[in-house]
């Protein structure tokens, strides 16, 4: 399978990103159950650093491997990275133009970010985008396009910018720009952020079904282990 990195806290992960060129992938129940062979191959790549960004992954690691992982939200990690590296070159890829513009403004104003390249997630030519990205030579590339699309282009970027740190961060631009509200603190602490998003957007039920599927698999596995110990 693939190796999941165990970070003690969010700052440790942020420091690792700052100091280590790699492709960073947030794992959730949805990514664990993905049927995308491309995403699976990328997650197995030696260049990929995987971290837990979902309650399902934390639960899975505990039930299957007895490993205690901390849930590390990518929507917070990338901002800590930027905050701790004021002069580093930052590239932003993803979201709509209006959201991207608000994201850039907020990063420059609130985090003193050095944003050297931006592109919405609706670019026409991937080759031109990567060429322009190479010209800007960013240290950090944050891609908000959702899985597996962001991971696929991130891998291509890493090949042409081997000293870069490339991180897929899903809907984080929308959150920073204020287009999407993050779950209240109570939901986050109870690791029910996915449930809050489902309440706000019932149309996410198909995507969020991965959480239920993974939960049922873990329950089945737990029962099977318990029965085997009784023999």
- 25-63: per-residue pLDDT in tens? 998 777 777 778 899 899 999 999 999 887 767 767 666
What is the CATH number for 112?
Answer: 3.40.50.10700
Residue span of the structural domain in which 134 resides: 10-185
How many folded domains does the chain comprise?
Answer: 1
Is residue 85 in a domain?
A: yes
**Model pLDDT for residues 169-219, shown as the tens digit of each residue:** 999 999 999 988 766 666 666 566 655 565 666 655 455 555 545 554 544
The answer to the question of residue 194 being in a domain is no
d(Cα 156, Cα 149) in Å, to the nearest integer? 11
Model pTM?
Answer: 0.82
Q: 18 in a domain, yes or no?
A: yes
Does residue 192 sit within a domain? no
């Amino acid at each position: 399978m693939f190796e999941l990195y165990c970070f003690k806290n969010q700052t440790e992960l942020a420091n690792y990103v700052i100091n280590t060129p790699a492709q960073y992938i947030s794992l959730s129940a949805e990514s664990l159950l993905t049927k995308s062979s491309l995403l699976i191959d990328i997650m197995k790549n030696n260049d990929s650093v995987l971290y837990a960004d979902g309650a399902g992954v934390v639960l899975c690691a505990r039930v299957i491997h007895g490993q205690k992982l901390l849930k590390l939200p990518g929507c917070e990690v990338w901002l800590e990275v930027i905050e701790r590296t004021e002069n580093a070159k930052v590239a932003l890829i993803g979201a709509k133009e209006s959201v991207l513009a608000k994201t850039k403004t907020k990063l420059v104003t609130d985090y003193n970010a050095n944003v050297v390249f931006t592109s919405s997630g609706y670019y026409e030519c991937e080759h031109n985008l990567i060429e322009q990205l190479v010209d800007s030579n960013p240290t950090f590339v944050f891609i908000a396009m959702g899985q597996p699309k962001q991971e696929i282009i991130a891998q291509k970027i890493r090949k042409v910018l081997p000293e870069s740190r490339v991180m897929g961060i899903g809907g984080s631009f929308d959150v920073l720009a204020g287009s999407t509200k993050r779950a209240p603190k109570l939901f986050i602490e109870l690791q029910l952020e996915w449930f809050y998003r489902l309440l706000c957007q019932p149309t996410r039920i198909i995507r969020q079904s991965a959480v239920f599927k993974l939960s049922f698999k873990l329950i089945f596995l737990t029962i099977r282990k318990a029965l085997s110990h009784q023999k």
